[in-house]
Amino acid sequence: MAKGQLSETMMKYLGDAEALAAQQGVRLTTLRKMILALLLEANAPVKAYELIEKMRAQGHSITPTTAYRILDFLLSEKLIHKIHTLNAYISCTVDHQHEHNSLMVICSQCQKAEEIDDEVLTDTICDKLGDMGMSLQDHCIEIQGICKDCNHDK
């Protein structure tokens, strides 16, 4: 993806992500940046094989193993989230350095997903889980609903 094709906001996000990775002692390689840019550009959940196809459309051939390693890296650096109910990935829309758990709301009809940045709410849910003897897996809470666009279509 040529830099001229990225919006100023996306370029800033990628620059911030690169700086954060450097602070952590890791590199945001060209392929990692390209996958992250595709997720940012999509602004919606994307499956790994869809990312591979998008990379191929841009003339870059990567194997599924490489794609999953890149996604695992981006997850570990908290730059993206995995939406388990969709088996897809989405870029983190909150400050890169947020340490709290994420709350993802997913439309069960169109699969649109949105991150809610509400640390009090996520902490309350995690506290309730703790009271039940459970803990949050993967630091992501997923809630299914129907978005306003799909509700409007009814």
Six token digits for residue 115: 């991150």
Residues in the chain: 154
Q: Out of 20-24, 90-94, 124-128, 143-147, pick the least confident.
A: 90-94
pLDDT of 1 above 60: no
| Residue pair 1/58 in contact by the 8 Å Cβ criterion | yes
pLDDT of residue 5: 58
Q: Which is it for the CA torsion 35, 38, 44, 49, positive or negative? A: negative
Domains contained in the chain, CATH given: 3-91 (1.10.10.10), 102-152 (3.30.1490.190)
Helix, strand, coil percentages, rounded to 5, for the chain = 45, 15, 35
Q: At what angle do helices 64-76 and 48-57 cross, to 10 degrees?
A: 110
Q: What pLDDT, on a 0 to 100 scale, did the predictor assign at position 100?
A: 60
Q: What is the spatial distance between Cα 64 and Cα 30, in angstroms, rounded to a whole number?
A: 17
With b for 16 or more beta-carbon neighbours within 10 A and e for fewer, the 56-78 pattern comes to eeeeeebeeeebeebbebbbebb
pTM over 0.85: no
- pLDDT at res. 131: 95
